[in-house]
Structure 1
Amino acid sequence: MNSSYPVIASIVEGHGEERALQGLLHRLVPHLVPGMYAEIQRPHRVPRDRMLKREHLERALTIIMARSPRPTGVLALLDSDDDCPVELARILRAHAQAAHGDVPLVAVAAVREFEAWFLAGAVGLAGRAGLPHDLQPPPAPEGIRDAKGWLSQQMPRGAAYQETAHQPSFATLFDLDAAYAAAPSFNKFCRDVKFLLTGERDERS
């Protein structure tokens, strides 16, 4: 590492994640490795269709790795939508390896969408933004096709979940342990972040 502490950069696809991921990582670092400090840099946004193309990912990595301090690791995050999350992550890693093989990069595709993690950790959102005080996660939260719609349905009549308004605050509130247990893609996300922090790879990754 070129620093005495980890420096994590990230690539995201949406405006909501651009604001939400930094706050989530600030929560997650001490949760995963108690006492750990890491610098969490502002996410770099690349629309999904471009992120999956080698030349655009290469350009993003070139920009990111020119930062000071230089990142010690990069996290690429996108929604899988109807695609296979494993295949999407493989494509991103392959493009990164071909373009910037010296850059430690992990790639995570949230199953369906980022908000599925909120559903898995919904107990932490109870009583917030008009959500019920007894809010409980649905069964198989990553199996729900429209997680944003599910959140809107739990809100008072006339209110709706809005990605840019709610995603950053919900990222600081949802129950991390519950999401880790109920959402396999969040479980992978946590394991990948821990790898960027410690350099130790979980055998399941």
Structure 2
Amino acid sequence: MSAPYPVIASIVEGHGEERALQGLLHRLVPHLVPGAYAEIQRPFRVPRDRMLRRDVLESALTIVTTRMPSPTGIVVLLDADDDCAVQVAQRIRSHAEATHAHLPVVAVAAVREFEAWFLAGAAGLAGKAGLPEDLAPPPEPESIRGAKEWLSRRMPRGSTYQETAHQPSFATLFDLDAARAAAPSFDKFCRDVRFLLTGKREG
């Protein structure tokens, strides 16, 4: 069964992203393409070390493509950690093209970690979850190793950033435009999502 609108499936690595990505995509669709609608399916989780294996990724892609309504595109999202984000994304995309070339699959590796995008759009988090009202993003947020710790240090004494607790809510709050400007991997993510919505590449 096919739907008369885009249907986006996703594969993620962590429990936090499993809950956060769906909300983020719901925000992004009308932000990137005003007036657009897309069905955002629940993310399918595969641990990072297994996701990088071609056979495991193939199995995960097969699972999400059998959902109804049938996805019109798939996002694969993971953290780059200490690896090159471009190379990680290329590896995922190469594996996907080898087994599921019939369906648009985009791969994005967040430089360092997903939370680097929160740092880039930190102004939208100001005053939330005990964070300072004047919270400002650090310079070059994707260069910071330990974005979770950066957030924890700015929370009230005794509080720490908890991925599964904070990631879903922060994904609905951080400043999208500021994050695109300061975090190239988030900009790539936005361009890839727009491609899944329109079938056209920016530029």
User: Normalised by the size of structure 2, how large is the TM-score?
Assistant: 0.99
Q: What's the counterpart of residue 137 of structure 1?
A: 137
Instruction: Please list, as runs of the form range in 1=range in 2, the aligned pairs for 1:75-114 lying within 5 A after superposition.
Output: 75-114=75-114
Residue 199 of structure 1 and its aligned partner are, at CA, apart by 0.2
Matched residue count: 203
**Match of 2:93, as an amino acid?**
R
Q: What's the counterpart of residue 73 of structure 2?
A: 73
Q: Deviations over 1:69-103 (max 9, x none)?
A: 00000000000000000000000011011111112
Percent identity between the aligned chains?
A: 76
- Tell me the distance in 1 between the aligned counterparts of 2:136 and 2:29: 26
Gaps of 5+ in 2: none
**Match of 2:25, as an amino acid?**
L
Q: What's the counterpart of residue 195 of structure 2?
A: 195
Higher mean alpha-carbon deviation, 117-126 vs 98-107, is at: 98-107
- Tell me the distance in 1 between the aligned counterparts of 2:103 and 2:31: 25
- Tell me the distance in 1 between the aligned counterparts of 2:84 and 2:202: 22
**Match of 1:90, as an amino acid?**
Q
User: Normalised by the size of structure 1, how large is the TM-score?
Assistant: 0.98
- Tell me the distance in 2 between the aligned counterparts of 1:52 and 1:68: 26
- Tell me the distance in 2 between the aligned counterparts of 1:148 and 1:82: 15
Instruction: Please list, as runs of the form range in 1=range in 2, the aligned pairs for 1:1-205 lying within 5 A after superposition.
Output: 2-203=2-203
Residue 187 of structure 1 and its aligned partner are, at CA, apart by 0.3
- Runs of 4+ in structure 1 deviating by more than 3 angstroms, as ranges, are none
- Tell me the distance in 2 between the aligned counterparts of 1:104 and 1:27: 21
Q: Deviations over 1:93-140 (max 9, x none)?
A: 110111111121000000000000000000000000000000000010
Residue 3 of structure 1 and its aligned partner are, at CA, apart by 2.5
What is the SS of the residue equivalent to 2:156? Answer: coil
Compute the RMSD of aligned alpha carbons.
0.9
